[in-house]
Amino acid sequence: MDLRKGPWTVEEDLVLMNYIGSHGEGKWNSLARCAGLRRTGKSCRLRWMNYLRPDVRRGNITPEEQLLILELHSRWGNRWSKIAQRLPGRTDNEIKNYWRTRVQKHARHLRCDVNSKQFKDVMRYMWMPRLVERIRAASGSSATCVHQNVAAPSTREWPAEGSVELGQAKTSPDDSEMQLSSASESDDCFANRMQGCENGCDDWFQEADFTACWPQPLPSPGVCADDLGSLDLDGCGWEESLWSIEDVRGE
């Protein structure tokens, strides 16, 4: 049987949904055969998981979700499926796409490797506090619990096995994770730093936001790591509390 590739048609979607509705998911190869779909089992699974599943959330990634993605990626790296488990309704594919299109784009603009410590610091000490402010502004003080776990850390904690949840950003020690701790004076510093970076745009990730806040001229391509090593956030006291992923990761 010749297998179909490419975009799914409405008819194929209906066949797949109806079949799973009456037989359940799993055993994707036989499912594809029995349902009469000229698709591979992998293709059926992907279509279901990323698009047809009833609990798939569609629409823009919210600031809360953005915050969580940044946070979880800082711990787990490109473990998309694992990250997706913490964002109900979001798929690993969606998160992966988000990361590649939004986050990596800005790393490129900063001429910085997305995995470099410098870039992670920018995320943690600039973007994430800014996101927290946005969340807080949108929901009054209800984002405090998120805020407390994203602000520049002054202590490290290792809570009991748990998980990061939206609105309750606990972390767990599995995977040699770190704990982001309570808000500190560094956060105020960032709040100040972020002043003047407002552009009124919904997209917190607007390039102007952080390039304007970048404390030094951007380095030339190819010299990212070394040059950014001299990054100076002038007098915020952030260096004392600088949290290093490498410090606490056993990975």
Partner DNA sequence: AACGTAATCAACCGCAGCCGT
Partner DNA sequence: TACGGCTGCGGTTGATTACGT
Q: Give the orientation angle of helix 128-139 with respect to helix 63-76, to 10 degrees.
A: 150
Cβ proximity to DNA: between 27 and 156 the closer is 27
Cβ proximity to DNA: between 51 and 214 the closer is 51
> What is the number of residues in the chain?
251
What character string, x for contact with DNA (CB under 7 A) and - otherwise, covers 77-116? -xxxxx---------xxx-xxx-xxx--x-----------
Tokens found for residue 86: 């913490």
Tokens found for residue 89: 């309704």
Residue numbers 6-25 binding DNA by CB under 7 A: 6-8
Find all residues with CB under 8 Å of 225, minimum gap 6, and list them: 113, 116, 118
Tokens found for residue 117: 């410590």
Which residue bears the tokens 């606490």?
248
Residue of 46, 191, 218, 242 that binds DNA (CB under 7 A): 46
Q: What is the DSSP letter of 101?
A: I
Note whether 5 binds DNA by CB under 7 A.
Answer: yes
Residue of 15, 17, 20, 41 that binds DNA (CB under 7 A): 41
From residue 11, give the alpha-carbon distance in Å to each of 7, 15, 18.
Answer: 12, 6, 11
Note whether 211 binds DNA by CB under 7 A.
Answer: no
Cβ proximity to DNA: between 45 and 193 the closer is 45
Contact positions vs DNA (CB under 7 A): 4-8, 26-30, 39, 41-43, 45-47, 50-51, 78-82, 92-94, 96-98, 100-102, 105
